[in-house]
Amino acid sequence: MNRKTVGGGELSYMDQGNGRPLLLIHGFPFDHTMWREQMHGLADRFRVIAPDLRGFGKSPAVVEPMTMDRYADELAELLDALKVDEPVVYIGLSMGGYIGWQFYHRHRDRVARMVMCDTRAANDSEDAVRQRYDAAERVLIHGVEELVEMMEPKLLSVRTVNDKPDLVEALRAQMMEADPVGVASALRGMAERTDFTPHLKEIERPVLLMCGVDDVITPPSEMETIAAQLPKGEFVSIENAGHLAPLENPAVVNSTIRTWLS
Ligand code: MLT
């Protein structure tokens, strides 16, 4: 992995291939390896840049909340450091999507198109905000296991769980390795985010929304509603997938991205 110093410290990233730049932003509480199938499947035609967000993978955490704005600004700084002048195709999953809305809002000249996977535009309900702060405190005291136990049953489709035990195992191991400090600052940052729905109509770039048909965290119906509010939104559902469609059904996700970008 490569490293650059941006924002609050070093940021680690993969940078593979040549061509139009794709910026791949992982979900919570994962790291850039969540995109391994896309790095493998798309780097023949595109420059694929996949960072570890601050506090995940090999990018050291900060204690204060990582707001979606702050993650977005660090990504813009990373692109500066990599001398990527051409507008990127921003591809984000779930929390990577929350960051994507802010990335567009704050750095729109850097965005050519967006692919938003298994995500939402709305902020958290009051209840969800309370749960995030509570989870952040518990993670800092007891570690990530309780959070992993809570998230795990909702992440994957039944079919993935039955057919891909290695993937289930690898995901669990990755989540268990997450740094509690990074996890807590992401939880607090997600709790602080505001509703992006009123701004959807301002997004002038084409946006592809992809969602696993069995996603119970950010369901397809919610993403279809987002697509309808975007001036250039298009919705595609991904069969045999839950919340982590790019990992669960990479062949369909990759070919959908290729076709949409061709
Ligand atoms: C994610 O996959 O990034 C999380 O489900 C986002 C969230 O907790 O809202």
> Phi and psi (nearest 5°) for 230?
-90, 135
With CA atoms as reference, report the closest residue to 42 among 207, 253, 209.
Answer: 253
Q: Write the pLDDT tens digit of every residue in 92-117.
A: 999 999 999 999 999 999 999 999 99
**Per-residue pLDDT band at 17 (split at 50, 70, 90):** very high
Domain that includes residue 44, residue range:
2-261
Ligand 1 atom, smallest distance to 218 CA: 5
Nearest CA to ligand 1 atom 8: 28
pLDDT value of residue 220 = 98
Helices (H), 178-229: 180-191, 220-229
Return d(Cα 126, Cα 132) in angstroms, integer.
Answer: 10
Q: Does residue 76 line the site of ligand 1, with CB under 6 A?
A: no
| Structure confidence at residue 7 (pLDDT) | 82
Q: What is the pLDDT of residue 26?
A: 98
We report the CATH number of the domain holding residue 114 as: 3.40.50.1820
Residue 27 alpha carbon to ligand 1 centre in Å: 6
27 close to ligand 1 (CB < 6 Angstrom): yes
Burial 120-150 (b: 16+ CB within 10 A, else e): bbebbeeeebeebeebbebbbeeebeebbee
How many structural domains is the chain composed of? 1
Looking at the whole model, is its pTM more than 0.85?
Answer: yes
CA of 98 to the centre of ligand 1 (A): 9
